[in-house]
Amino acid sequence: MEFSEQKVAYTITETLKIFELAMANPQSARGSTFWQKIEREGILPKRTAESMRNHWKMNEKRGLENYLRSAINDKTRFSHAFKEIP
C-alpha cells in the first residue's frame, strides 16, 4: 500500500502493534534508539522512528483501554485495508 506525502493517521492495528512492542520493552521504549531499530526492521512500514515514538508517548499515558474507547468513538480506521472493525 502506498502512502501519500500527507500525514496518515495511525490505525488501530498500528497502535496495537506499538503498544505490544513498547510493553515488551518498557525500558527501551522511552529512547529513540529503540524506535530507530523498529523503523529499520520495517515492522510498521512508512512510519518513522520519531513518529512512532511520539505516538507511543502520547498514548502511553492514556492507556490501551482508553485509546481503544476513543478510537472507536472517533471512528479511527481499523487498518489501512479496512475502515471499520471487521
**What is the mean pLDDT of the segment spanning 26-48?**
94
The per-residue pLDDT of the chain, averaged, comes to: 91
For the chain, state the CA radius of gyration: 13
Helix (H) or strand (E) holding 30: none
Instruction: Please list the helix, strand and coil fractions of the chain in percent, rounded to the nearest 5, in that order.
Output: 55, 0, 45
The reported pLDDT for the residue numbered 83 is: 87
- Tell me the whole-structure pTM to 2 decimals: 0.86
Model confidence over 43-72: pLDDT tens digits?
999 999 999 999 999 999 999 999 999 999
Which of the four pLDDT bands, split at 50, 70 and 90, describes residue 7? confident
The reported pLDDT for the residue numbered 36 is: 97
